């Protein structure tokens, strides 16, 4: 596509939003996107969509193709529904849908008002930090953000264990997470030489 063709091609921008957000939060996000320049060209449009609905569309798209091995169909039976559990970084949303149309594109009706909470992956991270603050006090609390915040080597190491938790029993009961530089002697929770946090 040339730059000239790109310039005159209408674009749709879809912004996903947690299902539990208030209408005010959704409106503010849409307004922010428009202020940032999305949808400013003639023919461009900006839309919002609930994250569980977007997840349902992305998950079921391959099953809506006519040649799918096990194709989905618009529900003729009110007992045939789809439950979406969208576990994200900050929120978890659970919503139940019925498929109302498969072609030319998937559409859903929400069967029950979605439920959720602010208990996503970042909730687990915050609780880890609270635990380490309780164990190590100022030695942990006073660490620079670059050593314990998102994207640090320490939190990247924790993220690996967090994502694989429960998938395998081969790793035993001990998890060594790090590196982290704490001004502390060896303890049951910290290996000073290796700069590793020890979690069971």
pLDDT band at 98 (very low <50, low <70, confident <90, very high): confident
The bridge status of strand 107-117 relative to strand 175-177 is unpaired
More reliable by pLDDT, 34 or 186: 34
Are 96 and 154 members of one domain?
no
Q: Closest Cα to residue 116, out of 140, 137, 89, 85? A: 85
Tell which of 101, 117, 133 closes a domain: 117
Mark whether 194 and 103 lie in a shared domain: no
Q: With contact defined as beta carbons under 8 Å apart, do 132 and 140 qualify?
A: yes
Q: Is the pLDDT of residue 170 over 80?
A: no
Report pTM: 0.59
Radius of gyration of the chain (CA): 23
Q: What is the pLDDT of residues 14-27, one digit of tens each?
A: 999 887 788 999 99
Q: Is residue 75 domain-shared with residue 164, that is, in the same domain?
A: no
Asked if residue 5 belongs to a domain, the reply is no
Residue 79 domain-assigned (yes or no): yes
Show the DSSP H helices in the chain as ranges. Answer: 3-8, 23-35, 51-60, 121-136, 138-141, 145-148, 153-164
pLDDT band at 118 (very low <50, low <70, confident <90, very high): confident
Weakest-pLDDT range from 3-17, 111-125, 186-200: 111-125
User: Whole domain around residue 191: which residue ranges?
Assistant: 121-199
Are residues 61 and 113 both part of a single domain?
yes
Q: Is residue 182 part of a domain?
A: yes
pLDDT tens by residue, 156-168: 999 988 888 777 6
The predicted model gives 100-120 an average pLDDT of 78
The residue that leads in pLDDT, 81 or 24, is 24
What pLDDT, on the 0 to 100 scale, is given for residue 168? 66
């Amino acid at each position: 596509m040339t730059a000239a063709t790109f310039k005159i091609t209408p674009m749709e921008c879809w912004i996903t939003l947690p299902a539990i957000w208030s209408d005010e939060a959704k409106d503010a996000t849409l307004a922010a996107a428009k202020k940032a320049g999305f949808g400013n060209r003639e023919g461009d449009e900006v839309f919002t969509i609930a994250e569980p609905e977007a997840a349902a569309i992305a998950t079921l798209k391959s099953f809506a193709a006519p040649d799918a091995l096990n194709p989905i169909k618009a529900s003729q039976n009110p007992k045939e529904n789809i439950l979406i559990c969208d576990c994200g970084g900050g929120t978890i949303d659970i919503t139940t849908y019925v498929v109302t149309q498969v072609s030319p594109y998937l559409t859903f009706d929400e069967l029950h008002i979605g439920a959720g909470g602010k208990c996503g992956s970042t909730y687990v991270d915050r609780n880890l930090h609270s635990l380490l603050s309780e164990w190590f006090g100022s030695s942990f609390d006073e660490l620079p953000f670059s050593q314990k915040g998102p994207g640090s080597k320490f939190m990247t190491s924790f993220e690996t264990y967090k994502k694989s938790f429960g998938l395998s029993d081969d790793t035993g009961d001990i998890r060594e997470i790090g590196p982290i530089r704490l001004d502390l002697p060896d303890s049951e929770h910290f290996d000073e030489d290796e700069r590793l946090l020890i979690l069971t």
